[in-house]
Amino acid sequence: MKSVAINGYGTIGKRVADAVAAQKDMKIVGVSKTRPTFEARAAVNKDYPLYIGIPEREHLFRESGIEIAGTVDDMIEEADVVVDCTPGNLGKANLEKYKKAGVKAIYQGGEDHELTGLSFNSFANYDDSFGANYTRVVSCNTTGLTRTLSTIDPICDIKKVRAVMVRRGADPNEVKKGPINSIVPNPPKVPSHHGPDVKTVMGDIDVTTMALLVPTTLMHQHNLMVEINNDVTIDEIIDAFEKRSRVMLVDASEGLGSTAELMEFAKELGRNRNDFYEIPVWRESINIVDNELFYMQAVHQESDVVPENVDAIRALLEMESDNEKSIAKTNKAMGIL
Ligand SMILES: NC(=O)C1=CN([C@@H]2O[C@H](COP(=O)(O)OP(=O)(O)OC[C@H]3O[C@@H](n4cnc5c(N)ncnc54)[C@H](O)[C@@H]3O)[C@@H](O)[C@H]2O)C=CC1
Ligand SMILES: O=C(OP(=O)(O)O)[C@H](O)COP(=O)(O)O
């Protein structure tokens, strides 16, 4: 049984904690918060030992009556691996801590690839992180692109990929973020970070991305154009998506023609927090015109990277050498078909 600590119990951290707790071969030894929020209280109610990220704030937790087990420095002493889910760009300072404590660590997509020199996707490059000390699960959008591109890659001789990504403006709880009434090229230059990021896990694939922010919080949405050198049929693409776990074909004709309806459908799946771990691909959108494959997909940004984090733990700690076996264990424990 391996010991896992979660540094940063926010949108991603609280989900990774629950996913880890659901596995048979790993357990949570601590989660960290910087403020005594409802999430801190929820962690204690779940019996996750709670540690504080900013020791000077200990009195705030005491005044709120929220029991703490110690500081983040104490927490990482207890762990075989830390999953760092702090906001982007804290990674460098945290890495010094992890190195000093001799503990392995997994970062999220808000950090640059250069921090670890290694990025992770369960399907595309699990082996690269096997036994490594530090890796980084690529961002939610990059995970979405990699999930579907790595599915079609074995049957398509891909010449180049172009993708336009419509990014949600903020997460549902981010009251201070926008846009509220605008469409924002984000970034207003090409490529966005997503294309280069796919290359960190899929090697020399030719992929270029553009991205914009829109006033919605539910999901991101992607539009992919994949030039291919060989003859592949639409049925073969559909068959590949149907066989791949963590990708789900959905039908607009069944009332799933928008991100709003997809998130309503997620409630029917009966998962923790109504999360949608799979990448839904609209079946009707799949088309091939003049050796160019087109498809549209969506990404539930709060949850798609969660199963990847669990697999990354098994890779770093050499708990399972076969990525498919880790994926199957993670999926089973999380209720992913
Ligand atoms: N929210 C999303 O849609 C996704 C986020 N990511 C990435 O995951 C990482 C975390 O993002 P979120 O969970 O959205 O952030 P968040 O803001 O929801 O949560 C971050 C957590 O870290 C804690 N924290 C802040 N400073 C800290 C410190 N010095 N020490 C310890 N804890 C500290 C905060 O209290 C909070 O609980 C980022 O790298 C982000 O880019 C990746 C995929 C999707
Ligand atoms: O990993 C994410 O997006 P990204 O793949 O566009 O970087 C998350 O949705 C967080 O993005 P944010 O930096 O807009 O909060």
pLDDT tens, position by position, 125-167? 999 999 999 999 999 999 999 999 999 999 999 999 999 999 9
Give percent above pLDDT 70 in the chain.
100
Is 90 touching ligand 1 by the criterion CB < 6 Å?
A: yes
The alpha carbon of 14 and the centre of ligand 1 are apart by a number of angstroms equal to 10
Interatomic CA distance for residues 278 and 198, integer angstroms:
18
Query: Which of 121, 137, 167 most suits a substitution to test ligand 2, by most atoms within 8 Å of the C-beta?
Result: 167
- Which of these, 200, 190, 136, 142, lies nearest to 167 by C-alpha position? 142
Quick check: helix, strand or coil at residue 11? helix
Q: Which amino acid is at 14?
A: K
Cβ(194)–Cβ(204) below 8 Å? no
Cβ(285)–Cβ(296) below 8 Å? yes
Among 86-90, 217-221, 256-260, 315-319, the least confident range: 86-90
Whether the upstream peptide bond of residue 172 has omega within 30° of 0, thus cis, is no
pLDDT at 89 over 90: no
pLDDT band for position 337 (50/70/90)?
A: confident
The alpha carbon of 220 and the centre of ligand 2 are apart by a number of angstroms equal to 9
- Which of these, 124, 125, 199, lies nearest to 161 by C-alpha position? 199
Is 109 touching ligand 1 by the criterion CB < 6 Å?
A: yes
Query: Which of 7, 9, 12 most suits a substitution to test ligand 1, by most atoms within 8 Å of the C-beta?
Result: 12
Q: Closest ligand 2 atom to the C-alpha of 171?
A: 15
Q: For the beta carbon of residue 179, count every other beta carbon within 10 angstroms.
A: 15
pLDDT at 48 over 90: yes
Phi, psi of 164, deg, nearest 5: -110, 125
Q: Which residues line ligand 2 (CB under 6 A)?
A: 109, 139-142, 167, 194, 301
| Domain 140-299 superfamily per CATH | Dihydrodipicolinate Reductase; domain 2 (3.30.360.10)
The alpha carbon of 142 and the centre of ligand 2 are apart by a number of angstroms equal to 9
Give percent above pLDDT 90 in the chain.
99
pLDDT band for position 336 (50/70/90)?
A: very high
7, 88, 105, 141 from 110: Cα distances, Å: 14, 4, 15, 11
Nearest residue by C-alpha to atom 40 in ligand 1: 110
Overall size of the chain counted in residues: 337
- Which of these, 256, 226, 88, 234, lies nearest to 150 by C-alpha position? 226
| Cβ neighbours for 41, distance < 8 A, ≥ 6 positions apart | 64, 66
Q: Closest ligand 2 atom to the C-alpha of 142?
A: 5
Ligand nearest to the CA of 107: 1
| Domain 2-138+305-334 superfamily per CATH | NAD(P)-binding Rossmann-like Domain (3.40.50.720)
Nearest residue by C-alpha to atom 32 in ligand 1: 8
- Which of these, 246, 161, 173, lies nearest to 203 by C-alpha position? 161
Cβ(143)–Cβ(117) below 8 Å? no
Active-site residue (options: 16, 68, 140, 305): 140
Q: Closest ligand 2 atom to the C-alpha of 193?
A: 7
Dihedral (CA of 4, 326, 278, 184) sign: positive
Q: Closest ligand 1 atom to the C-alpha of 35?
A: 35
Is 51 touching ligand 1 by the criterion CB < 6 Å?
A: no
Quick check: helix, strand or coil at residue 280? strand
CATH 3.40.50.720 placement within the chain? 2-138+305-334
Which pLDDT value is given to residue 8? 98
Q: Which residue has the tokens 């036994």?
A: 131
Interatomic CA distance for residues 230 and 123, integer angstroms:
23
The alpha carbon of 110 and the centre of ligand 1 are apart by a number of angstroms equal to 8
Interatomic CA distance for residues 248 and 320, integer angstroms:
25
The alpha carbon of 40 and the centre of ligand 1 are apart by a number of angstroms equal to 14
pLDDT band for position 110 (50/70/90)?
A: very high
CATH 3.30.360.10 placement within the chain? 140-299
156 is catalytic: no
The alpha carbon of 252 and the centre of ligand 1 are apart by a number of angstroms equal to 33
User: What are 276-323's pLDDT values in tens digits?
Assistant: 999 999 999 999 999 999 999 999 999 999 999 999 999 999 999 999
Q: Which amino acid is at 310?
A: V
Ligand nearest to the CA of 82: 1
